[in-house]
Structure formats: structure tokens, C-alpha cells
Amino acid sequence: MDQMFFAAEVLLNGLMTGVMYALVALGFVLIFKASGVFNYAQGVLALFAALTLVGIQQGQVPFAHMINAMFGTHIEHFGWTVPSVLAILLTGAVMVLLAFLIEKLVLQHLIGQAPIILFMATIGLAYFLEGLGDVMWGADIKNLDVGLPQGISETIETATAEWFGYGFFIDRLDIWATLIAALLVAALVGFAQYTKQGRAMRAVADDHQAALSVGISLRFIWVMVWSIAGFVALVAGVMWGTKSGVQFSLSLIALKALPVLMLGGFTSIPGAIVGGLVIGVGEKLFEFFVGPMIGGATENWFAYVLALLFLVFRPQGLFGERIIERV
């Protein structure tokens, strides 16, 4: 009996990890849908957002190391801290500015180029942002705390212990992450379906010429899409940063988003969510049931093997529109 409950607990935890994967994958899907570009920099965008958030929150001086090295000064902090909500808003503004700069300095000059060129540009962008994050805010591991509750939820543990005689261990952060992700997804879907800008975004994704002819500015839409992707990256950065600290490895969660996208399809928002959940649950359950038989550590590769299988048998993913010839 306990074994069954334990499995159920693993399943729940898997679902919640899956939500976090889906969050990162969403950023990819948004940009891919609107511009046909696979944005390799999405993971670094999340890292950069988290670094900036911590930096602003703790009143760090941007480029402190560089300034100190050049002028022999010893400045580190402004000496104030910024409330979480304000810091999040400011970081959001930074992400919009970044989106604007990316459009202005990179994308604008590559209009009409093949998708592979744009893809290469985002690889460059990823390395640039990684370096910029380091130079601006320092390379040390930082703790991110924006007031999200963390730790085992005792309410759930005692309640389930009373009902089932088995206390479920669930991290409160995971619960919050799930709620926030659900809200974010609902907002994004509402935006794409019911607002003028959302309609314009879908139009641009479909046909550039036609979009121009009905009066849509491609530049505006691209800045908007990258801003949204930046915002999604911020949310993902906050969640993962709170969970495991803000450090370089944060950008590697983007790698986990790849199998999620292969499962869900590169062009489908529901696909990103379902794909995230399937991988989250799949890797946890696989580790739980099969792991002990083959010596464990299956979480590192399970997602990729699953993605490989999908590539062989259903390359467009579960919800994808067509075979992706563009990446």
C-alpha cells in the first residue's frame, strides 16, 4: 500500500517538475511560432533574467568588477535593497529593453535570411548574454528569494497522513510554480486568441507579406514576441532560481526543453505543456520503477531517449502542425 502512495507522490512531483519544463519550452514555442526561429538563447534569457532580478533586488552595482578593475575602486553595492515586486517589474522592463535591442541590432539586419542563419544568430546571442550576465552581475552562485514559500508543505503532509495514513511530501514552491504557470499559460492563450496584438502575432507567424498588407508592423510584433519570451524567461528564471540558486547551470534547463518540444511539437502551446508534463512524470516514474533495476541515474537521459523515439516515429511531435523542416 505504501508503495502505491509513494508512486502517487512521485507522480505528483513529476507533474510539478513537468510544469517547470513546460515553462521554459513555452518561450521557445512563442518565438518559433511568430518568427520561425528556434531561439537557442531562451535558456540564457532565463539565466540573465534571474541574474538581473537578484542584482536589482540586492542593490548590486552593474559591471562592478569591470569598474573596479579599471578604476581601482571597490564598489560592490549601492547599499540599498529593492522590494521583490518592484525588482520584478524593473527586471521585466530590462527584458523589454533587451527585446528591443535584439530586434534593432540583430534581427532587423537578418530579415529575409534563411531560418538557419537566424538560428546561428541566436547561438551567438546566447553566448553574448551569458558573458554579459557574468560581467554585469558577477559569476558567483546567488540565492534568489522573492518571497515565494518554500519547503515541504506541512498542511498537505498532515492532511494526507490523516486521510490515507501516508503523508505526501510536496514542496510548496512546486505548488506555487504550478499555479503561476497555469495563470501564465491562460493569459498567453487569451492574449493570442482574443486581442488585436495576438491576432497580429498569429498573422505574422503565417505570412509576412500578407501581414504587411493589412497594416501590421513586423518590427513591432517581433519586439513584442521577444518581450513576451523574455517575460516567460523571467518567470522560469524566478522558479528555477528559487529552487536551485542562480548559476550558470540554469541556462542548461533549456536543454531539457528540447525533448519537451520534440514531444509536444515546436508550434503548439498546449504541446509544450503536455510535453513538459509527460517528460516530468515520465522521468520520475521511470526512475522510480525501472531505475533500481538498472542502477539508477536514469533522469539524466530518459527525456532524450524518449525524444529520440519520437523523432523516429512521429517527428512532428504530439501536436505539431507539420514536420519541422525549418530547424
Partner 1 sequence: MNQQTEITADGRQIGGTLMEMKNITLRFGGVEAIKNISFDIREGEIRAIIGPNGAGKSSMLNVISGFYVPQEGEVWFKGQRRGPMKPYQVARLGIARTFQNIALFDGMTVLDNIMTGRLNRMRAGFLSQALWWGAAEREEIENRERVERVIDFLEIQNIRKTPVGRLPYGLKKRVELARALAAEPQILLLDEPMAGMNVEEKEDMSRFVLDVNDEFGTTIALIEHDMGVVMDLSDRVVVMDYGRKIGDGTPDEVRNNQEVIDAYLGVAHD
Q: Are 14 and 289 in contact (CB under 8 A)?
A: no
Q: Is 300 in the site for partner 1 (CB under 8 A)?
A: no
Tell me whether residue 172 or residue 199 sits nearer to partner 1 (CB atom): 199
Annotate each residue in 306-325 with x if it binds partner 1 (CB under 8 A) or - if it does not, as one string: ---------------x----
Which span sits near partner 1 by CB under 8 A: 49-57, 144-152, 157-165, 207-215? 207-215
Q: Are 127 and 224 in contact (CB under 8 A)?
A: no
Q: Which residue has the cell 534563411?
A: 114
Q: Which residue has the cell 502551446?
A: 269
The residue count for binding partner 1 (CB under 8 A) is: 24
Single out the residue of 148, 43, 132 nearest to residue 85, CA to CA. 148
Contact residue for partner 1 among 3, 196, 293, 325 (CB under 8 A):
196
Single out the residue of 226, 229, 180, 238 nearest to residue 52, CA to CA. 238
Strand, coil or helix: 327: coil
- State in angstroms the smallest separation of the CB of 185 from partner 1: 15
Which span sits near partner 1 by CB under 8 A: 68-76, 89-97, 131-139, 195-203? 195-203
Within 13 Å and on the Cβ side, how many CA atoms surround 72? 0
Which grid cell sits at 290? 525501472
Which span sits near partner 1 by CB under 8 A: 13-21, 125-133, 203-211, 282-290? 203-211
Which span sits near partner 1 by CB under 8 A: 130-138, 214-222, 230-238, 250-258? 214-222
Which span sits near partner 1 by CB under 8 A: 51-59, 71-79, 85-93, 204-212? 204-212
Q: Is 3 in the site for partner 1 (CB under 8 A)?
A: no
Q: Is 109 in the site for partner 1 (CB under 8 A)?
A: no
Q: Are 268 and 319 in contact (CB under 8 A)?
A: yes
Annotate each residue in 174-193 with x if it binds partner 1 (CB under 8 A) or - if it does not, as one string: ----------------xx--
- Which residues in this chain contact partner 1 in the complex, by CB under 8 A? 190-191, 194-197, 199-200, 202-203, 205-207, 209-218, 321
